[in-house]
Structure 1
Amino acid sequence: MLNKSHFAFLDEGSKKEIRRTILKAVAIPGYQVPFASREMPIARGWGTGGLQITLSLIGKKDVLKVIDQGADESVNAVNIKKLVQLTTGVELTEQTKTATLIQSRHRIPEVPLTDDQILILQVPEPEPLRAYEAKKSVTKLLHSEQEYSGAWLMLFEQIMKYGTISTGADHPVYVNDRYVMAPSPIPRFDNPKMNQSEALILLGAGREKKIYAIPPYTDVASLAFDDYLFRTEDFTDKSCHLCGATGVFLDELIDDHTQQKLFQCNDTSFCMERLNSTQKEEVGSIDA
């Protein structure tokens, strides 16, 4: 049943304030803009920042897709979709191509995004300098002076300890040759998708009360050294055991019966679309 008290749950004043914050974030790529994060009917840390952006931007004609670590059917994704649909009545989809708004936790879809789409990423910790500086006043000063030696030192320590840059996710990026930014806990595999993206990318941290953005066609480079280059997760010679996809982010599984190692597309809707397309081709060839 559609909630008629406020379209998209938030009152109009709240949505206007968040939209103004988004405009400032778009105008200064990678810069963390503070905003008055509202109380939401989900716990902080479960996507309140991304949800507030979605509810502030969504219109009656929008088509929404929500994913959680690549899955459309996870508890987090399903509950967010329910809340948005109950308060807007908008159409939901699992197909990346048909969505106008995509809210995501920990992944960027495998299907390339277009200039008529907006990707909204949920962010637990927006400050890329927090690992070595706890004070917000100091991190703001470091950003203003473009003093990022601490971030480089963290990567150097990884190389000294492990022989390579070992960041698993949330590998910091340089945006527009100005700000070092936390890309949210997406895998390294997804970092290159941010560079020169056709879609607008918005990042929201509800608990930390920050919104930041990567406008379309913005330069985004993952931090790395000249002699220790940035590398994504390596899936060379590996393919999805369901749809046969290669060149995508894969989850490593163990078959319960054979105990053999298997790989499967992390992006579930991408995998299902490939499977459905293959099945249709097989039926068509049989009919012919």
Structure 2
Amino acid sequence: MSQNFAFLDEHSKKEIRRQTLKAIAIPGYQVPFASRELPIARGWGTGGLQLTLSLVGQEDIVKVIDQGSDESVNAVNIRNLIQSTTGVEDTIHTSEATIIQSRHRIPEVPLKPFQILVLQVPTPEPLRSVEPSERKTKILHGDKEYSGAYIKLFEQIMRHGHITDDADYPVLVNGRYVMAPSPIPRFDNPKMNHNDGLILLGAGREKKIHAVPPYTDVASLAFEDYPFEVEDFSDKVCRESGLSGVYMDELVDEETGETYYMTNDTSYMLEKMNEEEDLHANHR
């Protein structure tokens, strides 16, 4: 028996595309969709994968990353599934890809107008920690009543003296809907604002799709006296590449016990290292 292109049947892909168009038309709004069964467990990227499978075409070039790495187990398995059911070309270079599926990171290389970034989302509801009822959160979104999200941040300031959310930091999209941007680090939040590419967010377990269209206002929630701030890596240098000003992982050398930093976006790091090598080679 022949297998469908991109695994999903055509009716499923059409339904997902229809809901995706609605999400694009209403930036930041959570659109329900009939999440399909896939040969991976829900919670391991099925929402993002369904978006990718519904959108990918034979001319597309796909990149899959997991927390900055193209070679993690999750990234490799998802990429293998996409390739085995479509035969499309893959790449590790952000600038070459037409569809980028990512878990917990927005690449360091800015998106271009022809690119789609698909983010995997475990919990799409930004009000879930303050309101467990789905029915009530829908009412709150309808009324644009987001005091609960601000109170959560305010409580962090009262307890710790600063906002402690390091990832999945809530944002206001297009001045209307508060959105959970997937557990990307705060460092990546500003990349969503007036971004050139299309950002789609899929939650397979929660059966929701939301989107940030190109050139959309995206503002991280904050207070006048406690403005939004990203992680500061200006005084840190990547031990492998010498890069600074990018999002980095803090690691410990097992032999010396020394703490060091490594660029999280591995493909970006390799590209910069190769550029440096080419530059030195040309000067010889």
The TM-score normalised by the length of structure 1 is: 0.97
| Paired AA for residue 50 in structure 1 | G
Structure 2 residue matching 1:137: 3-state secondary structure = helix
Q: Provide Cα deviations, 1:181-230, integer angstroms capped at 9, x if missing partner.
A: 00000000000000000000000000000000000000000000000011
**1:134 CA drift (Å):** 0.6
Q: Provide Cα deviations, 1:108-142, integer angstroms capped at 9, x if missing partner.
A: 00001110100000000000000011110000000
Q: Pick one of 126, 150, 174 that aligns with 1:128.
A: 126
**1:255 CA drift (Å):** 2.0
Structure 1 window deviating more from structure 2 (228-237 vs 77-86): it is 228-237
The 1-side partners of 2:154 and 2:28 are apart by 23
List structure 1 runs of 4+ shifted beyond 3 angstroms. Answer: none
The 5-angstrom pairing of residues 22-37 of structure 1 reads: 22-37=20-35
The 2-side partners of 1:202 and 1:14 are apart by 17
In structure 2, the residue matched to 1:281 is 279
Q: Pick one of 9, 12, 24 that aligns with 2:10.
A: 12
In structure 1, the residue matched to 2:63 is 65
| Paired AA for residue 253 in structure 1 | L
In structure 2, the residue matched to 1:254 is 252
| Paired AA for residue 101 in structure 2 | Q
**1:236 CA drift (Å):** 2.0
Q: Is 1:221 paired with 2:211?
A: no
**1:259 CA drift (Å):** 2.2
The 2-side partners of 1:279 and 1:116 are apart by 30
The 2-side partners of 1:100 and 1:17 are apart by 22
**1:17 CA drift (Å):** 0.2
Q: Provide Cα deviations, 1:38-81, integer angstroms capped at 9, x if missing partner.
A: 00000000000000000000000000000000000000000000
**1:261 CA drift (Å):** 1.6
RMSD after superposition? 0.9
| Paired AA for residue 172 in structure 1 | P
Structure 2 unmatched ranges of 5 or more: none
Q: Aligned residues, how many?
A: 284
Structure 1 unmatched ranges of 5 or more: none
The 5-angstrom pairing of residues 109-128 of structure 1 reads: 109-128=107-126
The 1-side partners of 2:237 and 2:193 are apart by 25
Q: Pick one of 139, 142, 145 that aligns with 2:140.
A: 142
Identity %: 65
**1:284 CA drift (Å):** 2.2
Q: Is 1:164 paired with 2:162?
A: yes
Structure 1 window deviating more from structure 2 (231-240 vs 159-168): it is 231-240
The 5-angstrom pairing of residues 39-58 of structure 1 reads: 39-58=37-56
The TM-score normalised by the length of structure 2 is: 0.98
Structure 1 residue matching 2:283: 3-state secondary structure = helix
| Paired AA for residue 77 in structure 1 | A
**1:4 CA drift (Å):** 4.3
Checking the alignment, whether the CA contact within 8 Å between 1:4 and 1:87 is kept in structure 2 is: no
The 1-side partners of 2:209 and 2:2 are apart by 27
Q: Pick one of 85, 88, 97 that aligns with 1:87.
A: 85
